[in-house]
Structures are given as structure tokens and as C-alpha cells.
């Protein structure tokens, strides 16, 4: 697989039954791959299958031996009512705070449930993005982010892959995808290829 970190061949994924069309993809170190397509084509399911959450019903998935994955989902981390500071959240995933925007750095000592929804989302995302991993899987990372947040995230993603990681990014934000991704795959529904 040389520089290739993961590869799928005719991968069909789903939860209780197959819900995605067969997919071929290949991801190299230093690459950002975007997955787009209309709702329901299985973008999140593909990410989940790569992370070992969803089932692979057909095809092949090859991961480089010892590959470390990190997955950010759209689910909100259950931190309401929990006395956990931003600094402690980053320490959990061993993520470094270096590079965080100033508007978050100065709030790292606060409890997560005292931050705004956007700040909390960005910090939760950062904890995954900067965790020690070879491949980072991001599901709609620009949700809840304002323009400044999206711009900072785009720079952070480029820096992350410059350090040798690779990223697969699922997003409905076409402008963001075209700005940061090296390659974009537009997924088709299972009925479109049937």
C-alpha cells in the first residue's frame, strides 16, 4: 500500500442492511478527501464503517496495519451538567491546544457547559482533530461554526495533513469542501446505481 493509509474496493456499508452504493476510495498520507452527495446516500455510514461502527456487507476495506483512526461524529458530546474543563477535554484525547484560536484559548479553563454551542463544538472537534491519529474522519465539521470558525478550521486541517496525517471529510458545505479538499467524491444513492 506504500503511501496509502486506507483503501476500499466496492465497499457496501450499512447498519442492519446495506445502505450505500459500492464505493472505491484510496487515501494517502497528507491528503484531504471530501465525501459529498445528497442526504441519505450514506456518507456518515461510510465514515462509521471505516471506524468500525457500521457493518461492511460487501467489498473490501484495507487499512494499513497499526493504523490509528480518530472519528468526529455529528452527535453532541454529553457534557451538560458535567464539571469538565476545556483543558481536561483536550487532555483526554491527548490533543494539544497549540493552534487554537484566541477566542477559545482564553476559555480553556471554563467548564464545557459554560461555553457557547459553537465554542463547545469547535473544542470537541479540536480534541479529535489533534488527537494522535494517522487518519481523521470528520462528519459535518462546519456545523455550528461561524465564518471565522470555518476559516480557522480550514487552516487547521491543512496544517494537520502537512504533519503527515490524512483526513476524510463529510460535508454539505460545498464551498468549504472545495477550499480544503485535495479530492472530492460525490456519492450516489444505492438506487441510483442499482
Partner 1 sequence: MWDDIFLIPFLTGLCLALVLPILGCFLRLRDEWLAALAYAHVAAAGALLALVSGVAPAIGGMTAAALAGAGKRFFSARLAGGASFALLLLGGWALAVLLAANQPLAERLGHALFDGQLYFSGSDNLYLVLPWCLLVIPLLAWLSRQLLLARIYPDYFHARHLPVWPVVSGFDLLAALTLALATMTLGVMGSFALVFVPPWIVFRRARSWRAGLFFSALIGALAYVAAFAMALGFDQPFGPVLALLLIAVGLLIA
Nearest 5°: the CA angle 109, 115, 118 is 125
Alpha-carbon distance of 122 to 101, in angstroms, equals: 10
Interface residue with partner 1 among 55, 57, 61, 77 (CB under 8 A) is 77
Of 82 and 155, nearer to partner 1 (C-beta) is 82
Of residues 110 through 149, those in contact with partner 1 by CB under 8 A are 110-111, 127-128, 131, 133, 137
Per CB under 8 A, 87 contacts partner 1: yes
Out of 52, 117, 164, 175, name the contact with partner 1 by CB under 8 A. 52
**Spatial separation of the C-alpha atoms in residues 26 and 14, rounded to whole Å:** 20
Element (H, E) at 139: strand 135-139
Q: Is 83 in the site for partner 1 (CB under 8 A)?
A: yes
Cell numbers 469542501 correspond to 177
111 vs 172 by CB, closer to partner 1: 111
Q: Does 55 bind partner 1 (CB under 8 A)?
A: no
Amino acid at each position: 500500500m506504500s503511501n496509502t493509509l486506507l483503501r476500499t474496493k466496492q465497499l457496501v456499508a450499512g447498519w442492519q442492511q446495506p445502505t450505500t452504493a459500492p464505493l472505491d476510495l484510496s487515501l494517502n498520507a497528507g491528503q484531504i478527501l471530501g465525501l459529498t452527495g445528497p442526504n441519505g446516500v450514506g456518507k456518515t455510514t461510510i465514515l462509521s464503517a471505516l471506524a468500525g461502527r457500521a457493518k461492511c456487507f460487501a467489498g473490501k476495506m484495507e487499512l494499513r496495519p497499526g493504523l490509528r483512526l480518530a472519528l468526529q461524529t455529528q452527535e453532541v458530546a454529553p457534557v451538560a451538567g458535567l464539571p469538565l474543563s476545556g483543558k481536561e477535554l483536550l487532555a483526554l484525547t491527548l490533543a494539544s491546544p497549540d493552534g487554537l484560536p484566541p477566542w477559545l484559548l482564553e476559555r480553556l479553563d471554563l467548564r464545557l457547559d459554560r461555553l457557547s454551542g459553537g465554542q463547545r463544538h469547535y473544542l470537541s472537534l479540536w480534541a479529535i482533530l489533534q488527537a494522535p491519529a494517522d487518519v481523521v474522519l470528520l462528519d459535518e465539521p462546519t456545523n455550528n461554526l461561524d465564518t471565522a470558525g470555518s476559516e480557522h478550521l480550514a487552516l487547521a486541517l491543512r496544517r494537520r495533513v502537512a504533519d503527515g496525517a490524512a483526513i476524510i471529510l463529510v460535508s454539505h458545505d460545498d464551498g468549504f469542501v472545495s477550499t480544503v479538499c485535495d479530492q472530492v467524491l460525490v456519492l450516489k444513492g444505492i438506487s441510483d446505481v442499482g
